[in-house]
Amino acid sequence: MSKELILKKFTDAVVNGDEDLAVEAANEAIASNLDATEAIVDGLSKGMGIVGEYFESQEYFLPEVIVASEAFKAGVKILQPHIKVQQGTKPSKIVIGTVQGDTHDIGKNIVGIMLGAAGFEVIDVGRDVSPKAFVDKVKETNADLLGLSALMTTSMVNMKKVLALLNEEGVRGQVKVMIGGAAISQRYADEIGADGYSVDAVAAVRLAQKLVAVAA
Amino acid sequence: MPTPKERFQAVVENRPVDYPPVICPGGMMSATVIDVMNETGITLPAAHHDGELMARLAEAVQQRTGFDNFGIPFCMTVEAEAAGSEVDFGTLECEPKIVKERFPDNQSVIYEDINLLLTRGRVPAVIEAARKLSQWHPDIPVSLTLTGPISFAASLVDPLVFLKDLKKNPAASHKVVAYVNDFLIAFAKLAIGNGVDIVTFADPTATGEILGPKTFDEYVVRYLGEAVTAIHEAGAPTIVHICGDIKPVKHLLPKIGADVISTDAMLSLAELKKELPGIKTMGNLSTYLLDQEGAIDRITARTRTLVHQGINVIAPACGLSTTSPIENIKAFTDAVHQSVAETESIG
Ligand code: B12
C-alpha cells in the first residue's frame, strides 16, 4: 500500500473516530517501513487538526472529539516503539490540572488530549489539585509548561496561589504558566501574572507552542 | 391575591397572573447563601443530611429572600451519592462535589434495586424536608430539583469515558442512562407523594456545546422527555433547566415537553419566546450580577425588563453563588413583586 494511502487512512481513522482503522493503518505502516514519526505527524495528528477545526466550527462536539482522540491514541500506541529517537529533540512537558475546590475536568481533559496529539508530553494531575501538588509535580518532572484550569469564580483565586507558591519555591522562572476555563479571561491572566490564556483547546495548543518557542 | 402555589399553577395552565412567580428551584439552583446561614445559624453542610434542618434552612431562605417557593435539596450530589459515588459534602461556602465517580465505565455499572437507592444517603432527608415544608406552609410550592440524567450518569461513571461512549457504545450508554432515569422518576414520584409541588431538572452536562444536537436529541430529549411524562402522570408540573450555550439545540427544546424551560443568562428569553412560540420560559437574571456588591440598581432594572418581556417565571440564570449578598436577592424578588403595583397604578 502506498504511503499516501496509509497516511490518509490514519487521518480518516481519527476524523471518523475509528479505532480499528487506526490500528490497521499502524500495522500497515510498520509492515511497509513507513517512518513512525511521519505517520504520527502527517497522518494521525493531521486528523486531530481537522477534528479541532470541526470542533471550532461546531460540526463536532465533545463526544466526537473524545472518540477521535481514542483512535489517535490507539495508533500512537502501536507506532511508539518504532519512533527513531532523534538526538536532542525531547518533547516539551506540560503539567496540567484543575485547581483546588473545582472538580470540572471535561475542558481540562480535552486540552490535555489536544496537547498530547500535538506532540507534548502531558502529565495530568487531575482535578481539585492543591497548589502544593502542582508545584511539587512541576519540580519533580522539570516541566516546561504548567496548565491550570478553573471553571468557577470561587476556585479561580487558587490559580493566584499556585503562582505565588511557584515564586516562593523559586521555580517560577523555569516554567511557563497558561490558564483557561470558563471563569478565566485574558484580563485575569494578566492580573495574576500568568504567561498566557486561551479560550479553547485548539487555541491552547497554539499558545503552548508559542510559549515553548519563546522559552527555547 | 392568589397564593404563590395558585400563581405558579396558573402559569402552568396558561391563565393570567398578577405578577410572574420569582423562584429559585433548589438543587443546582439553590439560594442557600452565606448571609442567610450566618443570620439564622442553620448551616451547611449539616443541613444537607438532616430533613428537619433542611426544611428549616429552606424556610429561612424563603423568608429572607422573598422567593415564591421552597427549593430542595441544596446541591446536585444527592442522586449520585445514593447510587454509590463518593461525595465531599463541602463547607458553609462551598457546595458538595463528587470526589470520585463510582464506576470507571458503563460496562462496570452495577444495577441496583431502585427502591433500595431510595433509602440511601440523603434521599430520606430530602423527602422528610418536603413533607415538613408542605405541612408548615401549604400555600407555598415546594420545588424538588433533581440532577438530570446525563449529569447524573456522568457523576456515576467517569465523565470522559461516559461522554465518549454516548457515541462509541450507544447500547451501554442507553442502559446506564435509562437506569439513572428510572431512579430519578421514582425519586420524583416519592417526593410528589410527600408534598413536592414542582419537579425541576437541571442537567448542566447536557449543554448544547458539550453534546451537540444529534446526541442531545438521542439522549437528553428522550430521557428527560420520559421523566417529564412520568411526572406529569404523577400530577406535578416540570421545569427543565439547560446550562450553557443552547443555540445548537434550541429547536429541540419543545420536544422535551416540560411545562417551563429555563436557560443560562447568555440567551435572550424574549427572543427564545419569539422563536419557539408556545413554550413557557424561566430565567434568567445573571448569576454574576446577583453576586456583585453595589449592583442593586442594575438588578432592579434588569428584572423589570424580564417582567415586561413577559417571561413566565423569573429566576436566577444558573443558580446563585453562595456569596451573593442578601440585599441583592431581596432587590431581585422585590422588583418582581412590585411590578404588579406599578402595572396597576398605570392601568
Ligand atoms: C458540565 C458542568 C458541570 C459538571 C462537571 C462534570 C465534569 N466532570 O467536569 C457537573 C455537573 C459535575 C458540575 C458541577 C458543578 N458545577 Co458546573 N458546570 C458545568 C458547565 C455546564 C459546563 C462545563 C464544561 O464542561 N464545559 C465544556 C468544556 C469543554 O468547556 P471548558 O471547561 O470551558 O473548557 C474549554 C476552555 O475553557 C478551555 N480550557 C479549559 N481548561 C483549560 C486549561 C488551560 C490551561 C487552557 C489553556 C484552556 C482551558 O479549553 C476547553 C476546551 O475547549 C458549566 C457552565 C459553562 N457554560 O461553562 C457549569 C459551571 C462551571 N458550574 C458551576 C457550578 C456552580 C457548579 C456546582 C457548584 C453545582 C452547581 N450549582 O452547578 C458544581 C461544583 C462542583 C465543584 N465544586 O467543582 C458554575 C460556576 C459558577 C461560578 N461560581 O463561577 C457554572 C459556570 C454554571 C453556572 N453558570 O452556574 N458542573
Interface test with B, best of A55, A61, A155 (most B CBs within 10 A): A61
- What pLDDT is recorded for position B346? 41
- What pLDDT is recorded for position A216? 61
Domain-embedded: residue A87 = no
> Domains plus CATH for chain B?
4-332 (3.20.20.210)
Count of domains forming chain A: 2
Domain-embedded: residue A71 = yes
Shared domain for A136 and A174, answered yes or no, is yes
In terms of Cβ atoms closer than 10 Å to its own Cβ (0-12, 13-18, 19+), residue B188 is: buried
**Sorting pLDDT into bands at 50, 70 and 90, what band is B347?**
very low
Out of A82, A108, A137, a domain closes at A82
Domain-embedded: residue A78 = yes
Shared domain for A78 and A98, answered yes or no, is no
Pairwise CB contact (< 8 Å): A63 & B94:
no
Note whether B212 contacts A: Cβ–Cβ < 8 A: yes
- What pLDDT is recorded for position A215? 66
Pick from B168, B215, B322: CB nearest A61 = B215
> Tens of pLDDT along chain A (216 residues)?
789 999 999 999 999 999 999 999 999 999 999 998 889 889 998 999 899 899 888 889 989 999 999 999 899 889 988 877 655 567 899 999 999 999 898 889 889 988 988 889 999 999 999 999 999 999 999 999 999 999 988 899 999 999 999 999 999 999 999 999 988 999 999 999 999 999 988 899 999 999 998 766
CATH number at residue A188: 3.40.50.280
Shared domain for A27 and A126, answered yes or no, is no
Shared domain for A41 and A100, answered yes or no, is no
Distance CA B282, CA A216 (A): 53
Helices (H), chain B: 4-12, 34-40, 46-49, 51-65, 78-82, 114-117, 123-136, 149-156, 159-168, 170-193, 208-215, 222-233, 253-256, 269-275, 287-291, 296-308, 326-346
Residue A101 Cα: closest atom of ligand 1: 77
Domain extent, residue A148, equals 93-215
Domain-embedded: residue A201 = yes
- What pLDDT is recorded for position B341? 54
- Asked if pLDDT for residue B222 goes beyond 60, the answer is yes
Residue B94 Cα: closest atom of ligand 1: 77
Domain-embedded: residue A48 = yes
Chain A residues with CB inside 8 Å of B163's CB? 62-63, 66, 106
Domain-embedded: residue A88 = no
- Asked if pLDDT for residue B4 goes beyond 80, the answer is yes
Shared domain for A120 and A64, answered yes or no, is no
Q: The whole model's pTM is what?
A: 0.87
Out of A56, A82, A108, a domain closes at A82
Q: Which three cell numbers stand for residue B79?
A: 442522586
Shared domain for A150 and A121, answered yes or no, is yes
CATH number at residue A77: 1.10.1240.10
Shared domain for A50 and A134, answered yes or no, is no
The stretch B123-151 carries a mean pLDDT of 98
Shared domain for A109 and A209, answered yes or no, is yes
Note whether B291 contacts A: Cβ–Cβ < 8 A: yes
Shared domain for A210 and A107, answered yes or no, is yes
Out of A82, A115, A133, a domain closes at A82
Shared domain for A28 and A122, answered yes or no, is no
In terms of Cβ atoms closer than 10 Å to its own Cβ (0-12, 13-18, 19+), residue B2 is: middle
- What pLDDT is recorded for position A14? 95
Domain-embedded: residue A99 = yes
Distance CA A93, CA A112 (A): 11
Shared domain for A46 and A142, answered yes or no, is no
Nearest residue of A to residue B100, measured between CA atoms:
A103
- What pLDDT is recorded for position B243? 87
Pairwise CB contact (< 8 Å): A64 & B212:
yes
Among B167, B149, B159, B247, CA closest to A63: B167
The stretch B27-34 carries a mean pLDDT of 95
ipTM of the complex: 0.76
DSSP state string for B232-249 = HHTT--EEEEE-S--GGG
Percent of all residues in chain B with a pLDDT value above 90, rounded to a whole number: 85
Helices (H), chain A: 3-15, 19-31, 36-38, 45-56, 62-79, 106-117, 131-141, 157-168, 186-192, 201-215
Shared domain for A109 and A211, answered yes or no, is yes
pLDDT tens profile B209-219: 899 999 999 99
The stretch B108-133 carries a mean pLDDT of 98
